[in-house]
Structure 1
Amino acid sequence: MANSSTAAAAAYPLLVQRYGVAGVTPSSSSSSMATRVFSLPAMKLLDVNLPEEMCGNTFLETPQGLVLVLMTTSSPPASAFLLDPRDGSRVAELPPLGEGELPAHRRCVLSGRPPEPGCGVLVFDLESPALLFCRVGGERWSRHGYDIGCYDLPEEYCPVPKRRQLFDVAGVGGSSLTFLVESRGDLFLVAIAFEGYSIGGPYDVHVFRMDFSAAAPGPAWRRATDIGDRAFLVGGDNSSGASCSASGCGVKANRIYWINGFSEDEKRNLYVFSVEDGSVETFDTFESLPGAPRQTPFWLV
């Protein structure tokens, strides 16, 4: 059933926390779970019902705000589609995809929004250099490998060369985290640095914009001190990064919203960085529920 409530749509972007029920660890397809929602415009927990298609079925959120849903609780069980969680509408039907075909650790992105016919849907395997791909209006999913070289590791540590995969763009690198964010045709890199190797803070954040027009040796990252009427949402499940219009979504402009999925803080504090002056605000989000395992929170834009 579509959730067409104007109030519910106005609560987006959301930070969603899933809890297991009766000691069951929640998963993207678990029906034994409870969900709590933190609204960025309201900066507090709200009672917002997610579309029923996201309950009990496997789903993958995307930086473009849509959700890839695999219907595992109905017939045919392999049917797939793109869902707009704001109103529960099915935006595009996709070729069938079985849950067993998905990589265990994955990230889904779209080549455009709205997903018109021909738009690409990609599911990256975060553990190997491979991805699943289909097009809106296409007939099937296909699996592709790619080669971007190998890690530079000592032979005594790794005698067999280990191939790189695209998880590098959003992984832990030394004492910092990096996130790629596409916004209005621009490519940004958000780098959050820790003090030493402590993940408990304090933090320093830098934003870079890719300059594709740079002279030889080619494209280069340039420091950005203003991202305009935009807010970047980074961190959480799959170390994802997304962009939204600040004025359009009722959030602060020129800000980075980061949820620290590595923190041991029970409330998993939300950090809001100013791109202009580097100042930071922290907000409490979710409290733990006794005896209820939980997933790392994820964004719905």
Structure 2
Amino acid sequence: MDPLPVPCLALQPQQHSLDAVKTTLFNIKGQDIGCGLDGMTNNSKFWVTPRGWILARDTASMSTFLFNPRNPDEKIQLPHLTEDLRTTCACLLSCKPTLPGCTVLLVEPNATVIWQCCVGGKEWARHEHNVGTQLVDPASDLREKVPMCPIAACRGKFYFKSESFADIGVLEFSPTPVFSSLKLAGECEVHLDTAKVFLVESEEDLYMVGLVDGFGWDLIDLMDYRILVHKMDFSVQQWRRAYDLGGRAFLLASGYFGASCSADEHGLKADCVYMVCPGDTTYLKITSVKDGWIQLMKVPAAIRALCLLPPLIHSLFFLVKEKGVSRFQR
């Protein structure tokens, strides 16, 4: 199989379900490229990671592995994942998978369950967690456990948004999961009740991207929100407002996925946030963190979108899944 040409779009045909992925690749102008990707066939489920590697679960061969989409022959075998998990799980790597001790983490988006294995390990481990509760019905004070989202891997640990901005959740494996929290100093401009929040790791730094002002995830007005970016200052344990991204570009998509890459190396706009906005009319929205300008690029209609930063050469493509499943399916 040929390496994946980037940047490009990968579209799931409408007749296929979310968990039976068959993709067609397009360039950014919507022209069919005409190549495939093994981990995106009907025999496999796949989960993209912010580090670019793709986790694939092949039901035909009963194998589970990580592979590099720019060099599909480069694979890292893992213990087979026997559980048939949804493709909407978040997948993260604690470090480069070629390094010893790399942890592969799958986080179920609507359940309090995580799945974990180590590269070179013998099996996947299932863990239930209780990282807090959220109010469901104010009248009856009914609460429910919250999932771990958004979540990002940074400096060998996993950080996730807690119930409030007074702290941030921390997950480590030694080898069993150890949960803790990092108490934060100062106040933050982004509030949970008015923002959609993404956590992004970029060059070993942790960022928080908040989409605020009129943002509704189920019914989105593309021009009706602004972006606020904060960078974690670990020396004082505080979110500090960021007015640039260090010359990099941030890539966001639904399902609390966030990644970053060098803008100059790949023809992207520096210090900008790229956001794939799915729906009946799907756009790639580019927002400058420095200057505040916005650019919209129309792409084929999609019900769900992912973005992927392939490893090694750090090129970028956006993975967009066409309509054919419920917008609210997780």
Q: TM-score range by the shorter chain?
A: 0.7 to 0.9
Answer whether contact 2:277 2:305 (CA < 8 A) is retained.
Answer: no
1:282 aligns with 2:273: no
Q: Please list, as runs of the form range in 1=range in 2, the aligned pairs for 1:230-245 lying within 5 A after superposition.
A: 230-236=248-254, 238-245=255-262
Match of 1:17 in 2: 11
Code of the residue aligned with 1:50 in structure 2: it is: G
C-alpha spacing 1:94/1:258, structure 2 compared with 1 (3 Å): same
State the percentage of identical aligned residues: 29
Code of the residue aligned with 2:207 in structure 1: it is: F
Code of the residue aligned with 1:80 in structure 2: it is: T
Match of 2:2 in 1: 3
State the 1:270 CA deviation.
0.9
Q: Please list, as runs of the form range in 1=range in 2, the aligned pairs for 1:184-263 lying within 5 A after superposition.
A: 184-195=203-214, 197=216, 199-200=220-221, 201-214=223-236, 219-236=237-254, 238-261=255-278, 263=279
Between 1:43-52 and 1:145-154, the stretch displaced more is 43-52
State the 1:103 CA deviation.
4.8
Answer whether contact 2:23 2:36 (CA < 8 A) is retained.
Answer: no
Code of the residue aligned with 1:35 in structure 2: it is: T
1:297 aligns with 2:305: yes
Match of 1:29 in 2: 20
Answer whether contact 2:259 2:308 (CA < 8 A) is retained.
Answer: no
Residues 1-50 of structure 1: per-residue CA shift (max 9 Å, x gap): x324xxx44x13x4432122xxx3432334xx4524344xxx65451623
Q: Please list, as runs of the form range in 1=range in 2, the aligned pairs for 1:175-190 lying within 5 A after superposition.
A: 175-190=194-209
State the TM-score, normalized to the length of structure 1: 0.80
> Residues of 2 paired with 1:195 and 1:208: CA distance?
19
State the 1:252 CA deviation.
1.4
State the 1:59 CA deviation.
0.7
Q: Alignment partner for residue 63 of structure 1, among 50, 53, 63?
A: 50
* Secondary structure at the counterpart of residue 145 of structure 2: coil
> Residues of 2 paired with 1:128 and 1:253: CA distance?
36
State the 1:168 CA deviation.
5.0
Residues 168-201 of structure 1: per-residue CA shift (max 9 Å, x gap): 5699954432110011110001111243756212
Unmatched 5+ stretches in structure 2? 152-159, 162-190, 310-330
Residues 127-147 of structure 1: per-residue CA shift (max 9 Å, x gap): 122200000000100011222
Once superposed, what is the RMSD of the aligned Cα atoms? Answer: 2.6
> Residues of 2 paired with 1:104 and 1:131: CA distance?
14
Match of 2:71 in 1: 87
Between 1:63-72 and 1:88-97, the stretch displaced more is 88-97
Code of the residue aligned with 1:82 in structure 2: it is: L
State the TM-score, normalized to the length of structure 2: 0.73
Answer whether contact 1:112 1:120 (CA < 8 A) is retained.
Answer: yes
State the 1:285 CA deviation.
1.3
Residues 225-244 of structure 1: per-residue CA shift (max 9 Å, x gap): 011221100013x2310111
Answer whether contact 1:175 1:194 (CA < 8 A) is retained.
Answer: yes
From the two aligned structures, give the one with the greater strand fraction: 2
Residues 82-102 of structure 1: per-residue CA shift (max 9 Å, x gap): 0111121233110011252x2
Q: Alignment partner for residue 97 of structure 1, among 74, 81, 84?
A: 81
From the two aligned structures, give the one with the greater helix fraction: 1
Code of the residue aligned with 1:229 in structure 2: it is: G
> Residues of 2 paired with 1:55 and 1:300: CA distance?
17
Unmatched 5+ stretches in structure 1? 289-293
> Residues of 2 paired with 1:269 and 1:179: CA distance?
18
Answer whether contact 1:15 1:297 (CA < 8 A) is retained.
Answer: no
> Residues of 2 paired with 1:299 and 1:29: CA distance?
18
1:52 aligns with 2:38: yes
Code of the residue aligned with 2:294 in structure 1: it is: V
> Residues of 1 paired with 2:49 and 2:57: CA distance?
14
* Secondary structure at the counterpart of residue 299 of structure 2: coil
Answer whether contact 2:132 2:146 (CA < 8 A) is retained.
Answer: yes
C-alpha spacing 1:67/1:227, structure 2 compared with 1 (3 Å): same
